Structure 1
């Protein structure tokens, strides 16, 4: 049986929510090994003058828990 740990990561982009999710995954990959999946939890944005200026995506990142012996 494998235990899985889940963390939340916020990604940002000036282009799209999809790019923000990809950025969250890229940042998580810097410090987390063996990511097995992500789930988009929330989509938000900053708005100025009636236009979206920054897309934000909160994702849950799942990865296996490794037991040290």
Structure 2
């Protein structure tokens, strides 16, 4: 089996509806510029509160993708 290397980055997605949609937004945006995405791990979730009400859900994800530098 060939050896592989993966790079891990952190992204924060936002949604006005849910943490799940915030995570999905982060992954789908990353997929537009990165290839060979592998795993997204949710590492933190928080809320933006304005005037006493939740205005946004934020999800921080660690996203890994196959590293092809130097190939």
Q: TM-score, normalised by structure 2?
A: 0.88
Aligned partner of residue 27 in structure 2, secondary structure: helix
Gap regions ≥5 residues in structure 2: none
Task: State the partner residue of 2:17.
Answer: 15
Equivalence map 1:38-49=2 (5 Å)? 38-49=40-51
Q: Distance in 2 between matches of 1:57 and 1:41?
A: 8
How far apart are residue 48 of structure 1 and its match? Answer: 1.9
Please give the alpha-carbon distance, in whole angstroms, between the structure 2 residues aligned to 1:64 and 1:42: 23
Secondary structure at 2:37's aligned position in 1?
coil
Distance in 2, Cα, partners of 1:67 & 1:17 = 32
Q: TM-score, normalised by structure 1?
A: 0.91
Unaligned runs of 5+ in 1: none
Deviations 1:6-48 (A, max 9, x none): 0011100000000000000011111110101100011011112
Q: State the partner residue of 1:2.
A: 4
Q: Could you say what the CA RMSD is over the residues aligned between the two structures, in angstroms?
A: 1.2
